[in-house]
Amino acid sequence: MFETLFGGFDADLFDQLRRLESEAGQLFGPYARGAGIRSVHRGTFPPINVGATPERVDVYLFGAGLDPKRIEVSIQQNLLTVSGSRALDANQGAEYYRRERYDGDFRRVVTLPDDVDPEKVEAKYRDGVLHVAIQRRAATRPRQITVS
């Protein structure tokens, strides 16, 4: 049918494209489609935003319902690790049709720039957001020089 519509069109081309799509799916897994550079796997908890200024790096973890006493924050070799757990009250007698709120243990690791100072870190949890601020070393910060 395609040959009559397109005058000698190779109908096998669609089979080759399907094969290529299948191979790419096997290579990259189920996240090959729709995954952008800033996306994470579905169900990753807690979601994170990371921003930087010349003075510091700010990491925001969005975890409503976390107990600050059950959150551990550490830095080792420019890796920020945040781990903990969230326990949710669930009605044991209920039959759930959908459960999208994460509960259980979690661990997130963020690679930090080389110029952060692991001795100058502040972590605050407020309104469901954990804010970790890591200062940069003063020696590596850009310095404005006045020309006279």
On whether both 115 and 81 belong to a single domain, the answer is yes
Question: Residue 2 and residue 138: Cα distance in Å, rounded?
Answer: 67
Are 116 and 82 part of one and the same domain? yes
Residue 140: per-residue pLDDT:
67
Residue 114 and residue 53 share a domain? yes
Residues 18 and 66 in one domain: no
> Based on the domain organization, do 75 and 108 belong to the same domain?
yes
Closest C-alpha among 131, 57, 70, 81 to residue 103: 70
Are 65 and 134 contained in the same domain?
yes
Q: How many whole angstroms separate alpha carbon 80 and alpha carbon 73?
A: 7
For residues 132 and 69, membership in a common domain is answered with yes
> What confidence score (pLDDT) does residue 32 get?
47
Same domain, 106 and 134: yes
pLDDT digits (tens, 9 = 90+) for 54-75: 899 999 999 988 999 999 999 9
Beta bridge partners of 130: 61, 125
In-domain check, residue 11: yes
132 and 63 inside one domain: yes
Please say if the pLDDT value at position 53 is more than 80.
yes
pLDDT at 8 over 90: no
Is the CB of residue 89 less than 8 Å from the CB of residue 65? no
Task: Based on the fold, state whether residues 76 and 109 are members of the same structural domain.
Answer: yes
Q: Looking at the structure, do residues 73 and 117 belong to the same domain, yes or no?
A: yes
Report pLDDT digits (tens) over 77-104.
999 999 999 887 777 788 887 877 778 8
pTM equals 0.65
- Domain of residue 12, residue span: 2-31
In a domain, 17, yes or no: yes
Q: Is residue 76 part of a domain?
A: yes
Does 36 map to a domain?
A: no
The arithmetic mean of pLDDT across residues 19-40, rounded, is 59
Per-residue pLDDT tens for 118-130?
Answer: 999 999 999 999 9
The 3-state secondary structure of the chain, one letter per residue: CHHHHHCCCCCHHHHHHHHHHHHHHHHHHHHCCCCCCCCCCCCCCCCEEEEECCCEEEEEEECCCCCHHHEEEEEECCEEEEEEEECCCCCCCCCCCCCCCCCEEEEEEEECCCCEEEEEEEEEEECCEEEEEEEECHHHCCCCCCCC
CATH number at residue 111: 2.60.40.790
Give the total number of structural domains in the chain: 2
